């Protein structure tokens, strides 16, 4: 039974990673940049919900909606101010460092407003744990909601990308920016939309993460952010199903590593698996292998 | 004749770089001799050397080899821990050993082990490209930090005892001592690092890197950076040169680690000093100073290390301002529109001067 419990916990943690990884992978696919500030958007989302629900005492649904709105606006603003001017820069490293600067900025703004002390986040989910197999297997409401919302979002996102015009535009821009522009696609608008969707997902991920692991500090987002980035690379960065699979697998590996091998070595195991996967399949599980031709 | 002229130009350029370091050293020595330097600044001197060496060594990977490495702090961690381990063991086994010789061997050990790790990690990593390479170096850095954090080593009359599980499992006799105690790290490393040694190590680093860049090897490495396929087709051994640059860069990071470790009485592997945050910090020095510009990364390292200290008066706002300064500087330096505007501004000033001369 403990095996099943670990598996479900792993899938739950993996769902959060998958949601964050979706943001990384979409932004990478379209803007070809590693958005290091993505992890901190999660933290801002969680703090927004914390303020609305715990400080103001409003309903959790309002809190989650507010987090989504705040993060969407934040994501678009960051893109507009910090990343867009550097899109045509001579080195792709420039925008990477700017993203790191944005990450420091968000952390320190949160530090100034909320302080360095860890806040205890009240879960937005008020659901009794489900007991199965005569009480041996108990699934908390948080776990269930996390997994379900991840699946719903994943399906919604796939439908959006494959069935709507905006989604098709995103695909086109990720393949070839110049050609997409010639076809009359608003490239800047599409990139902004990508950041908006990625940040909205990050907000939801932040709320779910902090519901399951209720300690909230200005640095809460950075480690899950890096792990989700690893998940995105693991599944093949730029691929949306890849981010989903990578996230879930990473969550399962982390929980199993903690449970069966060593809790202190969990991070080393996660990163070790990533290295092995990339050495065998250098572009990740579902990544496309593009050969450079002369 | 032409090639000779070029050589001297390079040589002159290098002399300016060395001169800057020596000049800074002399100025600081005079200032501290006359007592015009605060104790806070004095404490910053060795870390400044450490960070400058790190920035120069990472520039070899990022600027000259053209591969993004996010695990540079991992090599620093290897250098720091192996050398501190050696120094502490020597302190117990051979307390009579002169400090200078011990520190010299410690530096060699730190550099060699970090270089070996560079080769070991480089062989698989350098097969990958671009962002995948970056993430794998990040992963290796985190693994090194994680393993060091759970490593326990004890020393008694029977030799060394190593355990990766807990301090209780080391199983040494009663009069043994812990060298590395898990997350508590190494305590009581001799404080051998001084500003003078730091500057000497920095000069050696510069000597190695600058000579490498201007050598046949360096040109081969830069050819690989500019076009791998073209370089391969003219017979350059890609793997060999890539590995060479990567391991030299790692060894120099190890030297910085030795300097870092022997400046602290307690050495622990935390996310702050050996995690990816540190690697990113070094990368910021390199990119802000100008990718491939050795002098630029030195200046950026000094300014960005001092900036948070200089802003200390602003208390809580200092890291916020640091972040804003970083973003603004990046935009100003790299955004095509800003570059265009800057150029127009400069030509305006120049043409204005000319007009005055004419009139």
> In Å, how far are A247, A277, B245 from B70, measured between CA atoms?
21, 18, 15
- Phi, psi for residue A291 in degrees, rounded to 5: -85, 135
Among A270, A271, A276, A294, pick the best mutation site for testing chain B contact (most B Cβ within 10 A).
A271
Tokens of B10: 């390079």
**List of chain B residues whose C-beta atoms are within 8 Å of the C-beta of residue A253:** none
Segment B255-276 shows an average pLDDT of: 87
Segment B211-227 shows an average pLDDT of: 92
Range of the domain at B300: 2-358
Segment A67-73 shows an average pLDDT of: 95
User: What's the sign of the alpha-carbon dihedral A154, A155, A156, A162?
Assistant: positive
- Phi, psi for residue B267 in degrees, rounded to 5: -110, 115
Q: What does pLDDT average to over chain B?
A: 86
Tokens of A216: 């909230």
Put simply, the chain A residues between 215 and 254 with a CB less than 8 A from any chain B CB are 222, 226, 229-230, 233, 237
Segment B148-157 shows an average pLDDT of: 82
Segment A178-206 shows an average pLDDT of: 93
More confident residue, B290 or B176: B290
Q: For chain B, say whether A265 makes contact (Cβ under 8 Å).
A: yes
Q: What does pLDDT average to over chain A?
A: 87
Q: For chain B, say whether A284 makes contact (Cβ under 8 Å).
A: yes
Subunit contact A294:B150, Cβ cutoff 8 A: no
Give pTM, 2 decimals: 0.85
Subunit contact B132:A282, Cβ cutoff 8 A: yes
**List of chain A residues whose C-beta atoms are within 8 Å of the C-beta of residue B143:** 267-268, 271-272, 275
What is the ipTM metric for this complex? 0.84
Nearest to B139 among A108, A265, A271 (CB): A271
Answer for the pair A217, A210: CB distance below 8 angstroms, yes or no: no
* pLDDT band per the 50, 70, 90 thresholds, residue B359: low
Task: Give one DSSP letter per residue of B191-246, joined into a string.
Answer: ----HHHHHHHHHHHHHHHHHHHTSHHHHHHHHHHH-HHHHHHTT--HHHHHHHHH
* pLDDT band per the 50, 70, 90 thresholds, residue A167: very high
Subunit contact A282:B127, Cβ cutoff 8 A: yes
DSSP state of B61: I
Query: What is the share, in percent, of chain B residues with pLDDT greater than 90?
Result: 36
The pLDDT score that the predictor gives to residue B1 is 45
Segment B319-337 shows an average pLDDT of: 85
User: What's the sign of the alpha-carbon dihedral B119, B125, B131, B134?
Assistant: negative
**List of chain B residues whose C-beta atoms are within 8 Å of the C-beta of residue A28:** 131
Subunit contact B146:A265, Cβ cutoff 8 A: yes
How far apart are the C-alpha atoms of B193 and B200, rounded to whole Å?
11
Task: Give how many domains chain B has, as a whole number.
Answer: 1
Subunit contact A82:B331, Cβ cutoff 8 A: yes
Q: For chain B, say whether A77 makes contact (Cβ under 8 Å).
A: no
How far apart are the C-alpha atoms of A249 and B282, rounded to whole Å?
31
Distance from CA of B284 to the nearest CA of A (A): 6
Question: To 10 degrees, what angle do helices A60-78 and A38-50 make?
Answer: 150
Among A86, A229, A276, A283, pick the best mutation site for testing chain B contact (most B Cβ within 10 A).
A86
The pLDDT score that the predictor gives to residue B53 is 95
pLDDT digits (tens, 9 = 90+) for A72-124: 999 999 999 999 988 888 777 888 889 989 999 999 999 999 888 888 888 77
Longest pairwise C-alpha distance within chain B: 91
More confident residue, B20 or B179: B20
How far apart are the C-alpha atoms of B307 and B325, rounded to whole Å?
10
- Phi, psi for residue A139 in degrees, rounded to 5: -115, 120
């Amino acid at each position: 039974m403990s095996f099943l419990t670990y598996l479900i916990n792993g899938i739950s943690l993996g769902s959060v990673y998958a949601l964050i990884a979706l943001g990384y992978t979409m932004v990478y696919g379209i803007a070809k940049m590693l958005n290091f500030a993505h992890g901190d958007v999660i933290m801002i989302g969680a703090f927004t919900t914390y303020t609305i629900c715990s400080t103001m005492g409003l309903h959790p649904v309002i809190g989650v909606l507010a987090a989504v709105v705040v993060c969407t606006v934040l994501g678009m603003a960051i893109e507009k101010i910090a990343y867009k001017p550097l899109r045509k820069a001579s080195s792709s490293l420039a925008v990477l460092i700017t993203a790191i600067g944005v990450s420091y900025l968000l952390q320190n703004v949160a530090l100034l407003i909320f302080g360095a002390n860890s806040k205890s986040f009240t879960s937005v989910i008020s659901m009794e744990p489900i007991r199965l197999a005569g009480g041996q297997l108990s699934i908390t409401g948080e776990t269930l909601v996390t997994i379900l919302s991840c699946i719903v979002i994943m399906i919604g996102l796939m439908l959006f990308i494959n069935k709507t015009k905006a989604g098709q535009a995103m695909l086109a821009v990720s393949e070839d920016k110049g050609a997409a522009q010639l076809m009359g696609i608003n490239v800047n608008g599409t990139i902004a939309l990508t950041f908006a969707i990625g940040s909205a997902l990050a907000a939801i991920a932040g709320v779910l993460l902090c519901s399951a692991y209720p300690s909230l500090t200005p640095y809460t987002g950075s480690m899950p952010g890096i792990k989700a980035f690893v998940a995105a690379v693991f599944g093949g960065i730029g691929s949306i199903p890849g981010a989903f699979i990578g996230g879930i697998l990473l969550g399962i590996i982390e929980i199993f590593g903690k449970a069966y091998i060593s809790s202190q070595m969990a991070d080393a195991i996660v990163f070790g698996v990533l290295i092995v996967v990339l050495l065998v399949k250098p572009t990740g599980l579902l990544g496309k292998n593009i050969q450079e031709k002369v | 004749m032409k090639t000779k002229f070029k050589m001297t130009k390079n040589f002159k350029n290098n002399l300016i770089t060395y001169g800057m370091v020596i000049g800074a050293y002399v100025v600081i020595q005079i200032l501290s001799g006359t007592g015009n330097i605060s104790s806070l600044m004095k404490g910053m001197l060795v870390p400044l050397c450490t960070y400058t060496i790190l920035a120069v060594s990472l520039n070899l990977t990022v600027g000259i080899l053209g591969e993004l490495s996010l695990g540079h702090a991992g090599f620093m961690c290897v250098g720091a821990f192996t050398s501190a381990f050696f120094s502490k063991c020597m302190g117990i086994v051979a307390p009579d050993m002169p400090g200078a010789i011990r520190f010299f061997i410690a530096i060699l050990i730190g550099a060699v082990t970090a270089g070996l790790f560079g080769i070991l990690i480089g062989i698989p990593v350098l097969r990958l490209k671009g962002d995948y390479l970056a993430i794998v170096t990040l992963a290796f850095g985190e693994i090194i930090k994680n393993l060091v954090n759970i490593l326990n080593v004890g020393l008694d009359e029977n030799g060394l005892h190593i355990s990766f599980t807990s301090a209780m499992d080391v199983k040494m006799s009663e009069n043994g001592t812990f060298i590395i105690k898990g997350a508590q790290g190494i305590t009581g490393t001799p404080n051998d690092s001084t500003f003078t040694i730091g500057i000497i190590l920095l000069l050696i680093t510069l000597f190695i890197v600058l000579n490498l860049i201007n050598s046949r090897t360096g040109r081969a490495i830069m050819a690989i950076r500019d076009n791998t396929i073209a370089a391969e087709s003219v017979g350059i051994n890609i793997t060999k040169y890539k590995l060479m640059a990567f391991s030299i860069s790692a060894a120099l990071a190890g030297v910085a680690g030795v300097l870092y470790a022997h400046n602290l009485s307690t050495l622990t592997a935390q996310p702050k000093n050996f995690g990816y945050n540190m690697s990113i910090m070094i990368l910021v020095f390199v990119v802000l100073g100008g990718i491939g510009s050795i002098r630029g990364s030195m200046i950026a390292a000094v300014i960005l290390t001092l900036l948070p200290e200089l802003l200390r008066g602003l208390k809580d706002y200092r890291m916020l301002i640091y972040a804003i300064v970083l973003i603004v500087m990046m935009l100003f330096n790299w955004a095509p529109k800003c570059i265009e505007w800057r150029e127009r501004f400069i030509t305006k000033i120049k043409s204005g001067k000319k007009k005055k001369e004419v009139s």
